[in-house]
Structure 1
Amino acid sequence: MNLVESLRAHRLLAIVRGKDPAAALRTVTTLAEVGIAAVEVSLTTTDALTVIERARAELGPDALIGAGTVRTPADAARAVDAGASCLVTPAVVDGLAGIGVPVLMGALTPTEIERALALGGAAIKLFPASLGGPDYLSALRSPFPDVPFVPVGGVDAPAARDYLSRGATAVGVGSPLIGDAADGGDLGRLRERAARFRAALAQDTA
């Protein structure tokens, strides 16, 4: 898959993590039902690999289902075997080149960004984005105009719109969107939050 083009098309990567595997799977499928089809299942989720495997079976081979919080090559190999179509790391991680799927590599500083790109990162997960906010993304885009950035960390709906307006390829959103759904929370409220995010992203393109 072309990760950058997929992220640019989806514009929002939902980050699912929770303690209830069945609820996490329901969260992934509910998001797909309401039009948020790019999802990262964090490996900190209970039985995350099974959630990824079952989500792949339910949503099909073309769905963007990533594995998040990938910290080692062993994590990466297990996630790919489970059906992850991309990997998302919280930091710069060595040893993922040639793993067979694209990597959204975590980085924050210019030095980390350069290293992540040298290690084969297809795009940069700017994390934690909340430390610098949208202004920091704007500052980074001057020396890195062609780097695909995906801010993650503390991104609510207004911030998502702001990051995208400043050139982010997409935004990654966890608890402001997911809430407690992956722990068995109300899926109706998840749908409401998803609608707010989709409306915010629609405003950005207006």
Structure 2
Amino acid sequence: MPPLTVPPTADVLDVLRQDRLLAVLRGSDPDALTACASVLAHSGIRAVELTLSSDAGLEALRRSVADSSLPPGTLLGAGTVLTRDQARAAIDAGARYLVTPGVTEEVLAEGVAQDVPVLCGALTPSEAMAAVRLGAAAVKLFPAHAVGGARYLRDLRAPFPDVPFIAIGGIALDDVADYLAAGAVAVGVGSPLLRESAQDSSRAALDALAARATAYLAAARRDA
């Protein structure tokens, strides 16, 4: 059995190592999601994932990629990528990285073939090993909160000290420091960050999103 090695990655992992935060946008309103992506980017979050759990995610990704007002260095990716066709569509739309909820061989193969990094979901040691061997740029521990949180991450990392882990799933603001202390390269935050702004693009909702983004970014960078 070959040893575990971490393949060379594109700049998304460098950004995550610096900012330690990935924003995850999920919803069914492309207008709201596009507005959220803009607010998050202008709040300083450079890695923004738009999930493909609905058609709105891909449309919002296309619009956000075309938005010349986004700060330079904003990295837009596609999440909940389940199939090769979705991977190709996301890359064609401008995704700089792909994110999966589990070990999906065809998505990893497409990412490797097109030199687009894949943050691959895994929950167990066997899944983490499979993700790395198939070319994952990083392992996304998901759903982190449901399996023991930071303590589980610490235990999982023990046999894989060189594998970059990103913790995602139910991470509240007060949890960020614990996950980073447990060895996460970064944390991914979805609904605790997005809340009502996934469907409400009013000024009040977007201002509240900006405030939450600033708080999460400050917590993530505190010990960077």
TM-score by length of 2: 0.86
Aligned to 1:189: 208
Amino acid of the structure 1 residue aligned with 2:177: R
Aligned to 1:112: 127
Aligned to 1:42: 51
2:89 corresponds to which of 78, 86, 93: 78
Q: Deviations over 1:110-156 (max 9, x none)?
A: 00000111111110000010112101111122100000000000111
SS of residue in 2 equivalent to 1:204: coil
CA contact (8 A) 1:124 1:149 kept: yes
Amino acid of the structure 2 residue aligned with 1:201: A
Distance 1:134 1:175, change over 3 A: same
Question: Which aligned segments of 4 or more residues in structure 1 are displaced greater than 6 angstroms?
Answer: none
Structure 1 residue 2: deviation in Å?
A: 2.8
Counterparts of 2:150 and 2:66, CA distance in 1: 37
Aligned to 2:62: 53
> Mean alpha-carbon deviation: is it higher for 46-55 or for 129-138?
46-55
Amino acid of the structure 2 residue aligned with 1:191: A
Q: Would you say how many aligned residue pairs link Structure 1 and Structure 2?
A: 205
Unmatched 5+ residue regions in structure 2?
1-9
Matched, 1:199 2:221: no
Amino acid of the structure 2 residue aligned with 1:5: D
| Structure 1 vs Structure 2 CA RMSD | 1.5
Matched, 1:134 2:150: yes
CA contact (8 A) 2:36 2:198 kept: yes
Distance 1:196 1:61, change over 3 A: closer
Counterparts of 2:137 and 2:101, CA distance in 1: 14
Counterparts of 2:18 and 2:29, CA distance in 1: 30
2:137 corresponds to which of 99, 104, 122: 122
Aligned to 2:36: 27
Task: Give the fraction of aligned pairs with identical amino acids, expressed as a percent.
Answer: 49
> Mean alpha-carbon deviation: is it higher for 193-202 or for 155-164?
193-202
Matched, 1:159 2:175: yes
Amino acid of the structure 1 residue aligned with 2:118: V
Structure 1 residue 63: deviation in Å?
A: 2.3
CA contact (8 A) 1:20 1:46 kept: no
Structure 1 residue 62: deviation in Å?
A: 4.1
SS of residue in 1 equivalent to 2:98: strand
Counterparts of 1:190 and 1:146, CA distance in 2: 34
SS of residue in 2 equivalent to 1:145: coil
Counterparts of 1:162 and 1:143, CA distance in 2: 19
SS of residue in 1 equivalent to 2:223: helix
